[in-house]
Amino acid sequence: MTYQFSDRVPESDEDPVGNILKVAGSPDVISFAGGLPAPELFPVAELKRVTDEVYDESGRQALQYSTAIGYPQLREQIVKRMAHQGVKTTIDNIMISTGSQQSIDLTAKMFVNPGDTVIVEKPTYLCALDVFRSYGAHIVGVDMDENGMKIDQLEKAVAENPNTKFIYTIPNFQNPTGRTMSADRRERMIEIADNYDIMIVEDDPYGAIRFAGDDIEPIKFYDDHERVIYLSTFSKILAPGLRLGWIVAEKSLIKKFTLMKQSADVHSDNLTQHIVAKFMSEYDIDDHIDKIKQVYRKRERVMMNAIEAFFPKNVHYSHPEGGLFIWVEVPGDVDTKALFDTCIKHNVAFVPGEPFYPDAVTPGTFRLNYSNMSEDHIKTGIKRLGDAIKETISESVSSVSRN
């Protein structure tokens, strides 16, 4: 039969990033394309121990149906973590989700009617763009610099789009750029949202992985009018396979989220919720996060030093103080697809910038990941990448001079 899909379904079955990851997955290729945490840091033994305890102490309860809002003990642990970040909240303001991706999906489903505007950083997390598109959002991108979204441009975008539902931002060590929004821009963003009475969706999967510089309070910290929906996850601080995230929002919003979640998947995995709550009550998760930070800091330093050594001097790149990613901008009108192909010939890979852009793409941009790679491989891979960039630039220069 001929299937008649809804308007929410992308026409193409193409998964450009999936295809890139497949090419990059060849055993000879050093791939900076992924976005995976380092699996050697997963606390497997500790999780095994607390899982056994969960089975012994509350196995039947953990295996039974539960409530959409989530396991109270886990929500209590999250209240403590949020306090640690300067956000005072209660368990009634917290819902557990099946990872941040679900938090983004439920938020968009809850607020975005077809044609409503969502304002995002340019570039931004590509799977958030997919979600916003699936609900018919009109997506408006705002340029960034090293301090995050350019606030004057943001204000202009809000003013020009009176049907704006929310600003979607990843303020810390943004995906894909690794950039962090400055404290004064966070305050300015809240002011703008107050003036125009719109919401802010603060997606913060990486904030806890700060390995340099000083902590900056979340945007939620400045939120006097309950207009910030704060999202975070255990994916980067514990293990992504467990698919657990959380939403912090005003209580009546959490009630709506709970109804929406009931329709989406009843509740998140209950066994896993018990395991993570137990882990957090028996271990200091900040000790574990410190280990992650040390390793990522080292890998980031190695990648930075290799970039300085091997990239042409006119190539720009971000200087992340945490998280998993570095963003590279090769100047001139470089064809990123051609650069990618050259890289594959040199047995090295990245994610091209294109899918991260809601609209006009800046050519020559790409994302590098350092969290899931040995220091040796980082050095070798960045050297190869530098060679590929030089080759592509010289070819593009010679092709220009031939014209």
Quick count: other Cβ atoms within 10 Å of Cβ 237? 20
Measured between alpha carbons, how far is residue 13 from residues 17, 19, 360 in Å? Answer: 12, 11, 22
Candidates 212, 274, 380, 211; CA nearest to 50 is 274
Least distance in angstroms from the C-beta of 127 to a copy of itself? 6
Candidates 99, 111, 221; CA nearest to 171 is 221
Bridge partners of 121?
142
Contacting a copy of itself within 360-389 (CB under 8 A): none
Contacting residues for 81 by C-beta, under 8 A, at least 6 apart:
285
Candidates 154, 98, 106; CA nearest to 131 is 106
Least distance in angstroms from the C-beta of 17 to a copy of itself? 10
Residue 110 engages a copy of itself in binding (rule: CB under 8 A):
yes
Least distance in angstroms from the C-beta of 338 to a copy of itself? 27
Residue 117 engages a copy of itself in binding (rule: CB under 8 A):
no
Least distance in angstroms from the C-beta of 74 to a copy of itself? 13
Contacting a copy of itself within 192-231 (CB under 8 A): 197, 199, 225-227
Cα dihedral 376, 319, 360, 365 sign: negative
Least distance in angstroms from the C-beta of 207 to a copy of itself? 19
- The nearer residue to a copy of itself, 89 or 270, going by C-beta atoms, is 270
Residue 47 engages a copy of itself in binding (rule: CB under 8 A):
yes
Least distance in angstroms from the C-beta of 161 to a copy of itself? 14
SS3 196: helix
Least distance in angstroms from the C-beta of 272 to a copy of itself? 6
d(CA 170, CA 155): 17
Residue 23 engages a copy of itself in binding (rule: CB under 8 A):
no
- The nearer residue to a copy of itself, 45 or 360, going by C-beta atoms, is 45
Residue 239 engages a copy of itself in binding (rule: CB under 8 A):
yes
The structure tokens listed for 376 are 């040796």
Residue 253 engages a copy of itself in binding (rule: CB under 8 A):
yes
Contacting a copy of itself within 80-99 (CB under 8 A): 98-99
Q: Which range binds a copy of itself by CB under 8 A, 151-159, 257-265, 298-306, 331-339?
A: 257-265
Element (H, E) at 69: none
Q: Which range binds a copy of itself by CB under 8 A, 73-81, 212-220, 251-259, 359-367?
A: 251-259
Residue 162 engages a copy of itself in binding (rule: CB under 8 A):
no
DSSP class of residue 226? S
Residue 112 engages a copy of itself in binding (rule: CB under 8 A):
yes
Residue 51 engages a copy of itself in binding (rule: CB under 8 A):
yes
In 65-130, DSSP assigns E strands to: 94-97, 117-122
Do the Cβ atoms of 328 and 382 come closer than 8 Å?
no
Residue 169 engages a copy of itself in binding (rule: CB under 8 A):
no
- The nearer residue to a copy of itself, 194 or 391, going by C-beta atoms, is 194
Spell out the long-range contacts of 390-394 with Cβ–Cβ below 8 A and sequence spacing 24 or more: 390/312, 391/342, 391/346, 392/330, 392/334, 392/335, 392/338, 392/339, 392/342, 393/312, 393/330, 393/332, 393/334
d(CA 227, CA 287): 32
- The nearer residue to a copy of itself, 75 or 227, going by C-beta atoms, is 227
Residue 8 engages a copy of itself in binding (rule: CB under 8 A):
yes
Least distance in angstroms from the C-beta of 300 to a copy of itself? 20
Least distance in angstroms from the C-beta of 136 to a copy of itself? 10
Interaction mask 57-76, a copy of itself, x per CB under 8 A: --xxxxxxxx----------
Residue 256 engages a copy of itself in binding (rule: CB under 8 A):
yes
Do the Cβ atoms of 209 and 292 come closer than 8 Å?
yes
- Starting at the edge strand found earlier in the chain, the sheet holding 138-145 runs 94-97, 245-248, 228-233, 199-203, 164-169, 117-122, 138-145, 148-149
Residue 277 engages a copy of itself in binding (rule: CB under 8 A):
no
Of residues 269, 335, 375, 391, which one binds a copy of itself by CB under 8 A? 269
